[in-house]
A and B are shown apart, each in its own frame.
Chain A
Amino acid sequence: MTMGTYRQQPGASKPEVRKDGKRVAGKQVFPPPGSGGSEPTMRPRDLDFIPETVGGKEPKPAGDHIHDRDRTGTVVGKSIPLVDSNAKVTGQAWYGDDVRLPGELIGKILRSPYHYARIKSIDTSRVEALPGVIAVSTGKDAPNRFGVLPVTKDEHAMAVEKVRHVGDLVACVAAVDESTAIEALSLFDIEWEEIEPVFDPKKGLEDHDEPIHWRGKYHLSRTNVQKRVFQEFGDRSLVDSPFAASHGAWTMSGVHHGFTEPHAVVAHWDPNGRLQLYTPQQVPHYTHRALSTVLDVPMHQINVVRTFVGGGFGGKSDPFPHEMCAAILARKAGKPVRITFDREEVYWINRGRHPSHIEVKMTADTDGRISSFDIDALIDGGGFASFGHVTSYYNGVLATAPYELGSFHYTGARVWTNKPASGAMRGHGAVNTRCAVEVGLDEMAESMDVDPIDLRLANLLPPHSRTISGFRITSNGMREALERVREGSEWDTKFRQLPLGKGIGIGCGFFISGSGLPIHWDPKNFPHATVHIQVDMDGGVTVHTGAADIGQGSTTAVAQVVSEVLALPIEMIHVRSHESDTSPVDLGSYSSRVTFMNANAAIRAAIGIRDQLLKAAWEMLGYHPNVLVLNDRRIYYKHDPAVGVSYLQALHKAQADTGALIARGAYRSPPMGGVHKGAAAGLAPAYSFSAYVAEVDVDVETGQVSCTNVWAAHDCGKALNPMAVKGQIIGSCHMGLGQVLSEKMVYGRTGHLQNANLLEYKIPSVHEMPHVEAIIVESSDPEGPFGAKEAGEGPLLPILPAVVNAVYDAIGVRLRDLPLTPDIVYAGIQKHLRKLRLEEPEQMQPPRLEHGPLQPLLVARGDLHRERDRLRQRSEDTSAYVNGVLFGFDPDRPLSEQHEGWREAYEPLPEQLAELGFAGRAWLKKEQRQIQREEEEQRQLDIDESEKPKIAVEHKTPPKDRKSKRGKSQKIRREL
């Protein structure tokens, strides 16, 4: 019997029974409940959630999207609960410390009491003698280094030679219970030799007898500089005669992620000698790699199980030494070992936002164009590298959009200090400079007598353009975001018009949506993300992905897109993402990459399954897949829904020869960006944009600032799940508000962290939270899954500058020390009073704005650009656009024909060295290999030409060398 005989004519769905007694395909009885087709009739398609471009009613102002055809109106765009929320609300979600294996031992870690000290000897005999102690381990058991970035592997499971900060791991024990383990910690006999510590990052730029790490020939003189960056783009001649300028030096405190779940890990070597490691991790794969290195065990003998993660925010995105410790102890003890941190230990491992000194200068020309951004960022990395290499770049490059710049100059340096290591935190690297830049713009707008929103609107990069540093911008909802917060907040009736003590401020931001370079492999050889889907006879869809759900809902996003493509209820989609044994390799949850990359891979995999189902339906119905419609567990003929097969029938037909349907999908970002040093930092397949307006109340007597209202517009491309996106926006506001108003890691005079607890490290409580009006802007990214981009990190950026600007609007005092705790604000007000010779704070005048002659010009340009942006967004205008067009740069002509100023440089010219900012001073130092080479050449010179005067090694490089440098640094950007 061939199924093809079931063919029916369109519109003619009778008779129900054929002559030979067989049922007609369209009228078959649906399978019994529980099999994926329980309802006798399917629901009609939900046209409100099907794009208008494919016949539905969902508006698509941004135009077509390649995934529009894959929409079935099932779940995408609907606010649905996270798929794992039932586990969370019933208390069944299992976090790190909830994994209890039979016979477990409790592990504890001995931490360094010294900031910086050499371990001369460790005697563990008294520890081992304590009854109840099963295993003891010290640094010598695990000499291999690891680190999250392959270029900076500088961590050990436990200190091998020296400890680098108070709280650094020294040794660990596993005992039968917690009190025995704690007691054991006091029985270590250790001989220490203290070394002079460094706390001030500025001191880190100087030579030190004993740098915290030693990078061999790449080490920068004898300083504690881990990474220095120099970048210069555009036309620097524009800087010389500014029409308006702003200059600000900022001090930003370190902040911590403050996730509610302390780190915990359970390690167990199973009877086959395989390691099972349970850990709440954002990056299980990196942990997997690091474990393999440290333990000298091949990766396939390790199964990393990601438990539920009680908040990550970047704080659980490093392979951690305590994970190694648990594995080492479990191996020694032959039993499972559980290590759980207390809250204080969470601060010792840190990885929070870098304490930073940031200096921003900017200029604008007479047309109100932004002619330059000069940024100098000195960031305090603490004792280890972590993600710091990337952070050093991000502090600069993530300030190159959303504005069109005449020129951009960035110097950055990350230094090691004897403090807990800084690392990646939500808004990685971009937050602090973004704040400084946005406040600078506000100041510049003020000196030009224009509205800061209009200044921004007249200087935005359009969709489908390139930033000054070469990032490819695709969709761009910046303008819409700005306009919507302006309208929502009634900006025009409030800005510079509120009474003393009340203020309103604006801030913008943009952020990467996934990082273009998978740091452990060449993207040419291996994709960024892979997803496997399996559908067996029962019709349930199992999705295997390595994406780590840390509460942001990545599992839900993956389930949603699969559900959408296959038109199955989301309850039929089961995402398995916990174990490295079953999930394809995934880089993890950082750089806001998961929704973009994993959902894209999942869509591809789901399409693979769908095609197999449609092929089966084709064989059964005789209609080509092009005219078949997938809807709610049924596949039917487009023009006669009565003609069709149930999902399960098609599935069983498709399975006839092969068994379970399997499909896989992968995502790889397109080749992007240049080849220059650091070109990969900040490259992303898409960028999200956001604009916030914040309203604050400032108590001028006490300096207490409270934020009362926030209008937060975020361009996430397409909200797959609006409720989750709003949750991310509001949550980001919460975290950003903490950083700008109250959170601060306080290091005392002796360098000791003084507030390693949640009482003194002040995270906003429910009472400090303003009302947040979350506004979703959908610019439909051409490469995003159904148009989506990230929504997890970008929304954090604008809240800081919005609040700082609002405080200025309220009291007329610019403050550049974060957080704006009452003491800082009070001191600022008092200084202001002294300057104006006023007695009482009530006499202060809040700033006012008289629009200057530039204002109409900017408004006109903004209006002009709105139309330009619309056409580019809808791809009706597909001409090339690069940063600089506003300044007369022609994107279609080769750079050599343009005027001379446009350049691109990655090392300072010798004549620039004198005027570099703090971080830039790292460029005054030379790398060891250069010093050695120069010494060598010097010796040669001494021998060869002993009669000639000596060249001072400190100031001059040998002529040959210098020439090649200059050639390199003046390399003009060609691939524009």
Chain B
Amino acid sequence: MVGDEHVTMVPVPPGKRWAATVNSQSVEVLAPSNAVLLDVLRDKVGTLGVKRGCDLGTCGCCTVMIDGVPKLSCLTLAGQVEGANILTVEGLSDGAHLAPIQTCFSTHGGSQCGFCTPGFLVASQALLNNNPEPTRQEIACAIEGNLCRCTGYQQIIDAIEAAAVIHRGEAALPAAASSPHADPHPSGPGEPTMPPGHAR
């Protein structure tokens, strides 16, 4: 790691204006010109749903969609994607309703500790956008860059399969199977079903 000699670090370059569309909001932040997208998203934009598992491109937790393509944000320079359309896990739901893929992850046990989940969700949403009828093998290939230590992937693949069915319109969203009452406190039309704002 660190020896005794003093290595002067590369001086931090001055902040530069960085603009992009993140989750359909245009954002503009000051970021060093050599900043990595992951850092900008987490530290400047504030999308903390993008997770840092390794910083080396080995875990997939930091996956975001850049102009529709899933990419590892820890291996992407912010400058490269200036002005791009970036989708993080926060952008999957419309603020009031979960996307089918999100619901399916929770109903099929695709998320245990949940740290890998944002990456998986973005990668699988990208798959579903391009391939409405993926086979299990195709699903596996789509998430091969994502590491999950908890689930053993099987329930993740189940979840993605189930979400694909919903995307194709062949099944309705599963009712939350948690209680005899699918919805104990039915909300009026247009009322959010998901608590807005931070759970914190």
Q: Are A183 and B155 in contact (CB under 8 A)?
A: no
Contact partner of B89 among A83, A91, A723, A759, CB < 8 A?
A: A91
- Interface of chain B, main secondary structure: loop
Closest to B121 in A: A89
Q: What chain A residues lie within 8 Å of B5 (beta carbons)?
A: 186
Cβ B48 vs Cβ A94 within 8 A:
yes
Closest-CB distance, A720 to chain B (whole angstroms): 13
Question: When chains A and B are docked, how far (Å) is the Cα of A715 from the Cα of B198?
Answer: 39
CB distance from A648 to the nearest CB of B (A): 13
A85/B114 contact (C-beta < 8 A), A38-B184, A186-B6 known? yes
Encoded as 1 (CB less than 8 Å from any A CB) or 0, chain B from 89 to 100 comes to 110110000100
Is the Cβ of A730 less than 8 Å from the Cβ of B181?
no
Q: Are B111 and A85 in contact (CB under 8 A)?
A: yes
Complex interface: chain A residues within 8 A of B49 (CB):
90-92
Q: Are B180 and A183 in contact (CB under 8 A)?
A: no
Complex Cα distance, B186 from A111, in Å, reads 55
Known: A33-B186, A733-B152, A759-B56. Contact between A553 and B112, CB under 8 A?
yes
Q: Are B108 and A89 in contact (CB under 8 A)?
A: no
Known A571-B184, A572-B184; contact A551-B113, beta-carbon cutoff 8 A: yes
How far does the alpha carbon of A767 sit from the alpha carbon of B145 in the complex, in Å?
A: 10
CB within 8 Å of A: which B67-124 residues: 88-90, 92-93, 98, 102-103, 105-109, 111-118, 121
B-contact 0/1 string along A104-117, CB 8 Å cutoff: 00000011010000
- Interface: A88 (CB within 8 A): yes
Whether the pair A262, B1 counts as a contact (CB closer than 8 A) is no
Closest residue of chain B to A313 (Cβ to Cβ) is B149
Closest to A310 in B: B115
Beta-carbon contacts under 8 Å, A643-666 to B: none
Q: Does B58 contact A (CB under 8 A)?
A: yes
User: Which of A74, A83, A85, A552 is in CB contact (< 8 Å) with B105?
Assistant: A85
Q: Are B180 and A569 in contact (CB under 8 A)?
A: yes
* Complexed CA–CA distance, A40 and B149 (Å): 45
Q: Kindly state whether residue A932 has any CB partner on chain B within 8 Å.
A: no
Q: Which residues does chain A contribute within 8 Å of B4, judged by CB atoms?
A: 188-190
Is residue A187 within 8 Å, beta carbon to beta carbon, of the partner chain?
Answer: yes
Interface assignment of A847: CB less than 8 Å from any CB of chain B: no
Q: CB distance A93 to B143 under 8 Å?
A: no
| Contact status B157-A89, CB under 8 Å | no
What total count of A-B pairs have CB within 8 Å? 249
User: A771 in the interface, Cβ–Cβ < 8 Å?
Assistant: yes
Shortest C-beta distance, B106 to chain A (Å), equals 4
* A730 contacts B154, C-beta separation under 8 Å: yes
Whole-angstrom distance from the CB of B123 to the nearest CB of chain A? 11
Contacts of B178 in A (CB 8 A): 75, 78, 80-81, 83, 569-571
Name which of A253-261, A497-505, A834-842, A933-941 contacts chain B.
Answer: A253-261
Which residues of the other chain, B, contact A91 by a CB distance below 8 angstroms? 47-50, 88-90, 118
| Stretch from B7-15, B127-135, B165-173 that touches the partner | B7-15
Give which listed residue, B1, B48, B98, B185, contacts A113 with CB less than 8 A. B1
Any chain A CB within 8 A of the CB of B45? no
Contact of A571 among B58, B92, B179 (CB under 8 A): B179
- Report whether B105 and A89 are in contact in the complex, using a CB–CB cutoff of 8 Å: yes
Give Cα distance in the complex from A666 to B108, angstroms.
32
0/1 interface trace, chain A 181-214, chain B, CB 8 Å (1 if under): 0110111111000000000000000000000000
Which range contains the number of A residues in contact with the other chain?
A: 35 or more
A423 proximal to B (CB < 8 A)? no
A3 on interface, CB distance cutoff 8 Å: no
Whether B93 and A90, one on each chain, are in contact in the complex, defined by CB atoms closer than 8 angstroms, is yes
A34 within 8 A of B: yes
Among B1, B47, B53, B108, point to the contact of A167 (Cβ < 8 A): B1
Contact with B along A312-327 (1 / 0, CB 8 A): 1100000000000000
Which of A33, A74, A79 touches B185 (beta carbons < 8 Å)?
A33
B88 to chain A: closest residue by CB = A91
**A765 interface hit (Cβ, 8 Å):** yes
Q: When A257-B149, A569-B181, A758-B58 are in contact, do A262 and B2 touch as well, CB less than 8 Å? A: no
Q: Are B181 and A39 in contact (CB under 8 A)?
A: yes
A552 to B59, CA, bound (A): 20
A824 proximal to B (CB < 8 A): no
Q: Which of A97, A185, A570, A726 contacts B2 (CB 8 A)?
A: A185
Contact among A39, A177, A632, A734 for B152, CB-based, below 8 A: A734
Complex CA distance for A607 and B193, rounded to whole angstroms: 31
Contact of A900 with B by CB under 8 A: no
By the criterion CB–CB under 8 Å, are A90 and B98 in contact?
yes
B-side contacts of A757, CB under 8 Å: 54, 56, 58
In the complex, what residue of chain B is closest to A42 when comparing beta carbons? Answer: B180
| Beta-carbon contact of A765 and B147 below 8 Å | yes
A182 to B1, CA, bound (A): 11
Question: Does chain B have a CB within 8 A of A241?
Answer: no
Question: Quick check: B180 and A179 within 8 Å, CB to CB?
Answer: no
Name the residue in B108, B149, B156, B200 with the highest tally of chain A Cβ atoms < 10 Å from its Cβ: B149
* A520-564 with Cβ < 8 A to chain B: 550-553, 563
Q: Does chain A have a CB within 8 A of B27? A: no
Residue of B nearest to A184 (CB): B9
Does A87 count as interface, using CB distance less than 8 angstroms? yes
Q: List B contacts of A74 (CB < 8 A).
A: 179-180
Q: How far is the CB of B84 from chain A (nearest CB, A)?
A: 19
CA gap between A258 and B185 in the complex, in Å: 41
Residues of B within 8 A of A310 (CB): 51, 53, 113-116
Verify if B61 is at the interface (C-beta below 8 Å from A).
Answer: yes
Is A766 an interface residue, CB under 8 A from the partner? yes
For A570, list chain B residues within 8 Å (CB): 178-179
Query: Is the Cβ of B185 less than 8 Å from the Cβ of A93?
Result: no
Among B89, B93, B115: residue with most chain A CB under 10 A:
B115
**In chain B, what residue has the closest Cβ to A763?**
B147
Residue interface mask A58-83, B partner, CB < 8 A = 1: 00000000000000001100111111
* A925 interfacial by beta-carbon distance below 8 Å: no
Nearest B residue to A259 via CB reads B149
B117 / chain A contacts, CB cutoff of 8 Å: 88-89
11 contacts between A and B (CB under 8 A): A81-B107, A82-B112, A87-B199, A90-B49, A95-B51, A260-B148, A308-B114, A310-B113, A310-B114, A731-B151, A734-B153
Contacts A311-B112, A343-B58 known; list 12 others, CB within 8 Å: A39-B181, A84-B114, A88-B111, A91-B49, A167-B1, A308-B113, A313-B149, A551-B114, A570-B178, A727-B109, A734-B152, A766-B143
